[in-house]
Amino acid sequence: MKTNLASFEKVTKRYSEFTLDHIDLKIEPGRIVGIIGPNGAGKTTTLKLMMNIIKPNSGSITMLGRQYPTEEREIKNKIGYVGEEQYFYEDRTVSWTGRFVSRFYTEWDENRFNQLLMQFQISRTKKVKALSNGMRVKLSLAIALSHHASLILLDEPTAGLDPVVRREVLTMLKNSSLDDPELGIVISSHITDDLERIADTIHYMINGKIALTDEKDILLDNWKKLHFRTDSVDETVLTNLYNIERNQFGCSGITNQYQTFRQTHAEGIAKDTIRVENVHLDDILLSLLEE
């Protein structure tokens, strides 16, 4: 049985105005995991706990089969971390930055780093202060992927990036996962389109708690938007829907049990008195926030 890359058991972190409340979480090898939630839900707190940047008030955290603080060096040697902000020595070059960071990792791969710089079109001789925000994110990602990490932790990695750079970063992450089937990637983001594109598993986090966890494909199979004609509405059905909207043509709502609904209402769907529409991950988030 494979060891989980990260395990939270009843982890709690308290602040004056926010509590991450008894979180149970497991990150398996070979998965791209998305943590979705509104601002202030606890996404960044969760990643900082994984990095031991902050410490829990209670509960147990196991990383790569090891525990903080006694094995912190061994743990961080196998984690690539890209935080919300990119901190570098601004007056140093990209090449110097790579050499500096390499001292902290026993398996630093200079060839891999240089390949990624070329792929991202980052000049080795350019000073960090001359890099755009997108280039700084790509430099952070190149560092995270250049020491044969077992786990990559990314906190809002594509926030503020233009669509072209976002697509490039996501493609690199997906390819890295395909190249190394044991690599785990955790992405905290409120940009659900990114996670819909590459994630395998989704954790929805709301108000410091995990509200829903499932495979992305299963979520999108089970959650659908239903449109009813005015004369076909079953009020008992509507009580089980989220985000109900009514207008002169009928009403609509989101179900989280579409496969069951389809079996029960096959005739209405076939006759198009009930129209089915796919939803996105952000539609599910809005539905969960309604509860």
Exposed / middle / buried, residue 159 (Cβ in 10 Å: 0-12, 13-18, 19+): middle
- Taking only the tens place, the pLDDT of each residue in 147-199 is 999 999 999 888 778 888 888 888 889 999 988 989 999 999 888 888 999 99
Residue 1 above 70 pLDDT?
no
Give yes or no for a contact between 151 and 5, defined as CB atoms under 8 angstroms apart.
yes
Average pLDDT over the chain, rounded to an integer: 92
Q: Which domains does the chain have, with CATH numbers?
A: 6-214 (3.40.50.300), 223-290 (3.30.70)
- Taking only the tens place, the pLDDT of each residue in 100-158 is 999 999 999 999 999 999 988 999 999 999 999 889 989 999 999 999 999 999 998 88
Please give the model's pTM, rounded to 2 decimal places: 0.92
Write the CA distances from 220 to 31, 174, 255, 260, 282, integer angstroms: 18, 20, 11, 14, 11
Q: Which of 48-52, 170-174, 282-286 has the lowest mean pLDDT?
A: 170-174
Give yes or no for a contact between 183 and 149, defined as CB atoms under 8 angstroms apart.
yes
Residue 291 above 80 pLDDT?
no
pLDDT recorded at residue 45: 95
Token representation of residue 41: 């839900």
| Nearest to 214, CA basis, from 256, 264, 260 | 256
Q: What's the angle, vertex CA 52, arms to CA 50 and CA 55, rounded to 5?
A: 105
